[in-house]
Structure 1
């Protein structure tokens, strides 16, 4: 992939053309895929109204993860929720099974994201506060990971400072990064380090905190732990009550030490100090830019986008929706340099986007639902993106490893497997426990405005499924070789489609259009461009 320079256009509101390409660009970056129906819906809004609606939070999912794994050590029946049961029971097999259930359930939430960025932002923060639940099946009950998902979702579009505090005292996080063993007599620096390096300040050119700041932050955080029931608690007897002095990077801030319950309040002072720095806002704005716009931040982008966006972020008291709204409404976001500089879809973007764009059938019964969600979860893991199992605390490699970044999603193994899976879905389908996941090619074509016109059918399909445009000669070749069977008269396809519409129960008529449409969509999904967003 070419590393294109950033657009010189800035954060001034975009006032250009608002049509299918712009809408599809916005939706593919902010949702999981861009469906025919969603493109049509948002085209009828103004660009600002479209962004405002996408940024509307949605209610947390009502349904809880279910036992889709059979035998449960605490007696939870099949397809009943295990949330609220057996939190203290430590059994590696049961905890692993519950983790797989939770992963599938989360994939279901991605598929049901609707017309809100809420689920995608929850995923963004999950990568930001990356954790590996599978490595902790022996010491962290799976329900704590479910609770953490709800916490990330609660703050995903809200106040970042409040989110950081909530995650700092999140029981799963406390155990994961050893905060539960951080005491005045034995300070543990793990969380104090990651709080600065990965969660708030980063390692950018303006980041100049020192090792002493890591140790001092750990001292501030002493006493925050979990009780025997895995609930957060502050143990004042384990808290360092002395004053804590930070380096010149933090203005030599002194956090006054307190004994008793007031000692817990030192956390608020620590966070206020971190967020008073310019670098904290820039760090988060860079990560948002990498995720939603492009993975190269050159001097132009740093000066024209990151710096003013960080100013807006700070001025809004770190309101996440405010900074996203500014970015998604900007000239920069819609400039061809950026909308044309596609990024490689992550595995979850690929799979959830495919499922939503083709409107893959998900059964209504719990067993069928979990079969579908599990199939997609398992496939995403094999493509190197597994929910709740992020090997490194810095997050998935594709969002942080320079200079390749998103190119790391693709290698000789994963690219072949991506094509194998799309071929499988457009072919016989993926199957699990009696449930089949398969693309309905005829059904998808039927949602387009003019499926009887082979030219419109192809261009309308490409508008939904492909971001980079194909040349007119390529479209003509696809039409003649696939839809027309080598002929040159468009009436061949038109008659075939109209014949099927007139006699939908005629298997011969159906097979004629189904075979050609499956060949068409297989061809499109086999293109390298299909993996770009």
Structure 2
């Protein structure tokens, strides 16, 4: 469903195709938000900046001012511990000698079979970082950059390079876009993925050069006019970079570098990069990035991608003028630091406009990881890697089955839902994925979702206990919806949830209150526990089966 279409219809929504309309949004651009700061705004911010809005996080950030909450989200902690050997099982032994529980990220490469084990280890570990994320935006930004500077594990096929790429994106999560672009250009995983390690003066390879312009910096919008000549010149600038597999780094081989001058188009001011010899040839990359990032479209392009990722996919003339342009000016004035841009966006009136709330369809990772975090699903500790990795594997499987296999976006341009017009995020929901989403939540809230021997189960009592007053059926329904939904439902729906599920058709609210109080006073009584568990399972299963649950 498209909430914006819903809000702009004079009559209840039907199954008619959505037609674009002009929305009644704020016209204040990036003016600071000065409205109320309640659960609704906090949950909106958390569901966009993190994976899900866990009740404990909602309570924490509601206790802060909006400014303090945003600053906390934009303050990242220390880097996590790297993935470990979790694959010495069923008689298999790492042929490079890495023992079980030790990290493999700087070990010898080994054979193809080992690479596949390590790639899976990396993917499960990555899911674990999302599940156990700190109270900041880093994990969402790692996914954003992974989608922007996409690589695919099944094409790179070197787990150590892929981990180094992941660590690179983490280190620049809220850092400098221009510096990150340079680092990615020299990153071993990217050099393999887009053939940069094959690029030399006798046979310039234009693969990465083309994507540097089209996908990574200035894009291919109506105001982007780079030329084929710019692509060829860029490829010549980037000749000579190779990979040292022992140190897992790249280096510059001057003997393979094109030392002739490189001329760029009028779009880039007809600039010329003077060819350089010896190791000075490596400095041509800085000259190239200075030319590209002097083009205002570079700042606008990345701001549009940030907007589509964190706010909404539709960028009309009003948004372009009142949001994208001022954000790009902030980016340029801060020398391409990303943090000030996001701080301005997340503190803006535009971000908290009701029409920008609950208007995105959850990505598979938002859906699967977010559900686990919001319900407080218990996972084994990271130190218990024998059990933790298989548990994380379940969520990886769910998201991949819903068309978002982390580490393997389908295209160099990332997942289509982040860029493909006109559907964008609506691509996440189809006749294949929606039943699979419902199956996951149906099983997780009941017997558990089992995959390869690991079971992910939602404890509805644990979730209810995280809410302010679970013994009051009216508040329980309302407080649950505040966390799980981003769009309010009708009073009739709330009444149905209370009367037909929690009260089992009785007329007295005390039916539920008494049942809850009986359980709380004697939690070891299986009969008391069964009464509340059965009704809570039915309540949350029903809530998660409604279309509103798919919105973030």
TM-score (norm 2): 0.94
Is it true that 1:120 corresponds to 2:144 in the alignment? no
Task: Measure how far apart 1:432 and its partner are.
Answer: 4.6
Question: Residues 350-361 of structure 1 correspond to what in structure 2 (within 5 A)?
Answer: 350-361=367-378
Secondary structure, counterpart of 1:226 in structure 2: strand
Counterpart CA distance in 1 for 2:299 and 2:352 is 23
Secondary structure class of the residue paired with 1:529: helix
1:275 CA displacement: 0.5
Residue 47 (structure 2) pairs with residue 25 (structure 1): no
TM-score, normalising length from structure 1?
Answer: 0.97
Alpha-carbon distance between aligned partners in 2 of 1:220 and 1:456, rounded to the nearest angstrom: 63
Aligned match of 1:234 in 233, 252, 255? 252
Equivalent in the alignment of 1:163: 180
Alignment of 1:266-285 (within 5 A): 266-285=284-303
Distance in structure 2 (CA, Å) of the matches to 1:184 and 1:337:
52
Give RMSD over aligned pairs.
Answer: 1.3
Encode CA deviations 1:429-466: one digit per residue, 9 max, x unaligned. Answer: 12356542100001110111100000000000011111
Shift of 1:426: 0.4
1:296 match: 314
CA distance in 1, matches of 2:244, 2:82: 28
Structure 1 residue 135 corresponds to structure 2 residue 155: yes
For residues 46 and 73 of structure 2, the distance between their equivalents in structure 1, rounded to whole angstroms, comes to 9
Q: Is the 8 A contact 1:67 1:101 kept in 2?
A: yes
Aligned position for 1:16: 35
Q: Which of 454, 476, 500 matches 1:481?
A: 500
Shift of 1:63: 4.2
CA deviations on 1:5-52 (whole Å, 9 max, x unpaired) are 462331000000100101110010001101111111111111111101
1:399 corresponds to which residue?
418
1:83 alignment counterpart: 105
Counterpart-to-counterpart distance in 1, 2:22 and 2:304: 15
Matches within 5 A, 1:349-428: 349-364=366-381, 365-428=384-447
SS of the residue 1:153 aligns to = helix
Quote the Cα distance in structure 2 between the aligned partners of 1:66 and 1:457: 43
Matched residue, 1:154: 171
Q: Do residues 308 (structure 1) and 326 (structure 2) align?
A: yes
In structure 2, C-alpha distance between the alignment counterparts of 1:212 and 1:65, rounded to whole Å: 45
Structure 1, unaligned runs of 5 or more? none
Which residue of 190, 213, 234 maps to 2:230?
Answer: 213
Are 1:66 and 2:85 counterparts?
yes
The residue that corresponds to 1:172 in the other structure is: 189
Alpha-carbon distance, 1:62 to partner = 2.1
Q: Mean Cα displacement is larger for which, 442-451 or 2-11?
A: 2-11
Take 2:370 and 2:232, find their aligned partners in 1: how far apart are those partners?
Answer: 43
Are the structure 2 counterparts of residues 117 and 483 from structure 1 closer, same or farther at C-alpha, using a change threshold of 3 Å? same
Cα deviations by residue, 1:52-94 (Å, 9 ceiling, x for unpaired): 110002211024333235322323333332222222x3x2222
SS at match of 1:412: coil
Using the alignment, how far apart are the partners of 1:164 and 1:83 within structure 2? 23
Cα deviation code 1:287-312 (max 9, x no counterpart): 00000000100011011100111111
Secondary structure of 1:334's match? coil
- Structure 1 window deviating more from structure 2 (31-40 vs 429-438): it is 429-438
- 2:55 equivalent among 20, 23, 36: 36
What's the CA shift for 1:226?
1.3
Report which stretch shifted further, 409-418 or 62-71.
62-71
Q: How many residue pairs align between the two structures?
A: 527
TM-fit CA distance, 1:320: 0.4
